[in-house]
């Protein structure tokens, strides 16, 4: 098992030094799920604030670009691509976020941030209809590039 890289030998938090790592193409895909009742799903198109799914897509993209400002020890990355897709299911909305870069560190946190903020945006835009909406299943689905190579979540 690997060691935690965000701590020095004395246990103090630190930003990882990636200056010696090669720049490589890296991608990540993350997902989240917003659980909501069918009655709430049926009213998505009537939302007076606008289309919650499109606004969530834009919010997720914007959030990915601000990840280093939100997560204290993340490196700011030159993102070459970010996308957020939503799919309405019987019991809620499935969100998939992807991010890509050519950098010295990965984009997992950017993809996870995009999926999470998209889910929070959907909640914000629909909470007037139901406060019991739940956000769950936020997870990394896959990543490519870098020293650790490829990762794919089982069953994905």
In angstroms, the CA 79 to CA 82 distance is 7
Angle between helices 108-126 and 52-65 (to 10 degrees): 150
124 as an active site residue: the answer is yes
Cβ neighbours of residue 108 under 8 Å, at least 6 residues apart?
28, 30, 140, 143
In angstroms, the CA 83 to CA 97 distance is 6
Q: Which residue is catalytic, options 9, 17, 83, 124?
A: 124
Any idea what the Cα angle at residue 76 is, between residues 119 and 1, rounded to 5°? 80
If you write DSSP's letter for every residue of 80-104 in order, what string do you get? EEEEEEEEEETTEEEEEEEEEEEES
In angstroms, the CA 6 to CA 88 distance is 37
35 and 92 in contact (C-beta within 8 Å)? yes
Active site residues: 124
């Amino acid at each position: 098992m690997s060691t935690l890289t965000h701590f020095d030998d004395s246990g103090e938090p630190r930003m990882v030094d990636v200056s010696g790592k090669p720049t490589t193409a890296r991608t990540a895909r993350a997902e989240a799920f917003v659980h909501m009742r069918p009655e709430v799903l049926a009213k998505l198109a009537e939302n007076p604030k606008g289309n919650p799914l499109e606004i969530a897509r834009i919010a997720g993209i914007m959030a990915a670009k601000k990840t280093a400002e939100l997560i204290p020890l993340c490196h700011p990355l030159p993102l070459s691509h970010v996308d957020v897709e939503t799919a309405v299911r019987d019991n809620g909305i499935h969100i998939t976020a992807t991010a890509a870069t050519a950098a010295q560190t990965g984009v997992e946190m950017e993809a996870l941030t995009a999926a999470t903020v998209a889910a929070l945006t959907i909640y914000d835009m629909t909470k007037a209809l139901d406060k019991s909406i739940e956000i769950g299943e936020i997870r990394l689905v896959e990543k490519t590039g870098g020293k650790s190579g490829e990762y794919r979540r089982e069953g994905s």
